[in-house]
Structure 1
Amino acid sequence: MSNAALELRGVERTFHQGEAELRIFRGANLTVQPGELVALVGPSGAGKSSLLHIAGLLEKPDAGEVLIGGVPCMHLSDTDKTLTRRTEIGFVYQAHHLLPEFSATENVVLPQMVAGVKRKHAIAVAERLLGRLGLAERLEHRPAQLSGGEQQRVAIARALANRPRLLLADEPTGNLDPKTSRGVFNEFVALTRGEGVAALVATHNLDLAREMDRVVLLHEGLLVDGADLAGSQL
């Protein structure tokens, strides 16, 4: 059995718009190893978000297989897919999606308690992660009391709270100004590496993408090596 954090094998997906067909993926393959940070790049509309949804078991491809930790997932029941997402996968979106009525700590504690972690331990994990992201003085603040960059840091801590095997991030700094984006990205990479989590990160920012371990380009429905993207515009 493969020990890869994520494998996509021959993923195909076609969307139907009336009588027209839009073929998004035509046999896409990808392997992300434990602890590896992979940037996913491509023009708008290429299907980066759809690929992350498939990798995260939120969307089913028309053909192909998704393996998480070597386990084939396409034939799992909905209940087992939900359990896999809860225990094996963390998600970070462009919008932070924090619960406004809860503090930063509580937003990171809640997914742990849903997974069965005792509250005392969940609080300790939340405080450790938030502290590493520079939020030790903001633990009891609610989202409305935090800046955009701080809110996204909380979302990153929340995604890592259950120690997932795989982190999927969709433009995690896309809503931030360039200076804040750089700071949050650096902390995101440092924390993800520190936690030993594999990550697949969709981004339009090639400067940030090149700082990851590897870049893959979504091009005409296939995933290809993006090592030669110097000077490219997406």
Structure 2
Amino acid sequence: FKTLAFLRYKLLHIHLTNVYDNLPTDEMVRKDGRFFAVETRAYLPAALAAAIAEEFELPAEELARTIGKFLGVGPDYFPDRRRGVEFWQAVWRAVRLEERLVELEDLAAARLPSGLDPAHIEECVRAAPAEVRFHLSTGAVESFLNTVPLLHPRGFLQVQDIFVTDMDEYRQGFRGPGKLDGSVVNWINGALLREVGARAGYDVHFAPFHYRPDSRTKILYTTQRD
């Protein structure tokens, strides 16, 4: 926001497409009236790691270090760039997530996105199922709160992405994280964005994406509150 501060109150239309779903996010669980943080870490199963090391003629004990260096250089880390692409494809296919639930004695102790406070969470889950796992949409919330101050009083933000528009939707199916084309994708908690937007002075609305049949994409747009 600091970089674009000179545009404050000047933009009539800001449009984003398929950005929010790739931004970092944390997750939270409410169960038996208590809140839990979902702590996650990525790992490679030992058998798959050994197979990758063998396929690419790497010492098994050096695989983690090789992946770290690869992330800094990209496919050109290997003399044969095509081989580098194949290496990353193999690693990405093998990546798994391990997680645990850590009880939060108080929501104030939770690691919340900048600009989000416990009151937002409490209001958001008020009408949610008694037991629910949901995204905090960390990157999306912070991006939203840094973007709307740039809008002209008659301006609006428009975002095309995959949104959960009602907390009950989390009970109805898997909403990420998922792997897609080398990236991690999560549905965005639109219900939380609606609450955040209201406190920032904006109504957040969602409309169907009519341009592709059976699309799961929705269109978020804002209007300034009176």
TM-score normalized by structure 1? 0.29
The structure number with the bigger radius of gyration is 2
TM-score normalized by structure 2? 0.29
More strand by percentage: 2
